[in-house]
Amino acid sequence: MIKVLKYSLADMIRNRWMIIYFLFFLVLTLALLFLSSDIPKLIITLTNVILTLTPLIGLLFGVMYYYNSLDFIRLLLAQPLSRKTIFLGLYGGLALSLCLSLFAGVFIPLLFYGILASPELWTVLILIGMACVLTIIFSLLAFIIAMKSDNRIRGFGLSMFTWLFFAIIYDGIFLLLLSIFKDYPLENLTIILTSLNPVDLARILILLKLDISAMMGYTGAVLQKFLGSSLGYFFILTILTVWTIIPLSYMTRLSGKKDF
């Protein structure tokens, strides 16, 4: 698996779009640092951009990479390698290159700013960590979508809908439910609904760390009040791990059943 990953990574880091992705975060972070040197404010702005963008890019790159790699997958499948090795290697190369672009783009400007000596270092690392987790989850979903749809237009359409659902529609449904059932105790419902959306989980974890969960309104307040900070982290990380493991095992299973 590591060998396939190595070559998939070598291909991806030279991809023009991957370089643009890195430069985007580099310029964004530099611009934000230029506008304000207040790190917590910068983190909030970056959080908003990253939480919207990483699922979208993960999905788009994932679907595009899978479709572009189909003939390469066939070449690998003709070698004495198991399907699991091939798909985990290819997926790993994609996810790792996206995470590296993001990490380098955000962290390099902050490094020059002197983030290593700043008390906000951990918050920045958690932000980047969450961005990477979202990248891992959404590029996995992209692989599953692409494997399920041989029709490329359908694959791209589904990946766009997935992004729209988790980034926008889900929050709308969430608010609607809270408003409909406002006369009932909603703590458990809030926690359950939050767990079902990795973007919300990542947002809450960052805001819990920033200790401004009031900004997140009801959800953040509920999580902080009922779970407490440490338990809140543990809960969120566990759910995010589940969000990674289930699609990963499904993707592996799917790869073993597909015709190429």
With tokens 């906000």, the residue in question is 120
d(CA 74, CA 32): 44
Query: Using the rule CB under 8 A, is 200 a contact of other proteins?
Result: no
Burial profile 182-202: b = 16 or more Cβ within 10 angstroms, e = fewer: eeeebeeebbebbbebbbbbb
d(CA 61, CA 142): 8
- The CB-of-65 to other proteins minimum distance in angstroms stands at 10
Contact 137/240 with Cβ under 8 angstroms? yes
Q: Using CB under 8 A, which residues numbered 55 to 74 contact other proteins?
A: 68-72, 74
Closest CA to 225 of 181, 172, 188: 188
Among 24, 52, 83, 121, binds other proteins (CB under 8 A): 83
Write the single-letter amino acid at 22: F
Cβ proximity to other proteins, 71 vs 183, nearer residue: 71
Contact 37/116 with Cβ under 8 angstroms? no
Query: Could you tell me how many residues of this chain bind other proteins (CB under 8 A)?
Result: 29
- The CB-of-14 to other proteins minimum distance in angstroms stands at 4
Write the DSSP string, 4-18: HHHHHHHHHTT-HHH
Per-residue binder mask for other proteins (CB under 8 A), 14-53, x = binder: xx--------------------------------------
- The CB-of-195 to other proteins minimum distance in angstroms stands at 35
Stretch that binds other proteins, among 112-120, 133-141, 160-168, 251-259 (CB under 8 A): 251-259
Query: Using the rule CB under 8 A, is 237 a contact of other proteins?
Result: no
Among 4, 98, 124, 140, binds other proteins (CB under 8 A): 4
Query: Using the rule CB under 8 A, is 252 a contact of other proteins?
Result: no
Cβ proximity to other proteins, 78 vs 180, nearer residue: 78
Cβ proximity to other proteins, 183 vs 259, nearer residue: 259
d(CA 163, CA 2): 29
Residue 89 CA: distances (Å) to CA of 69, 133, 159, 174: 12, 18, 22, 36
Q: Residue numbers of the site for other proteins (CB under 8 A)?
A: 3-4, 6-8, 10-12, 14-15, 68-72, 74-83, 257-260
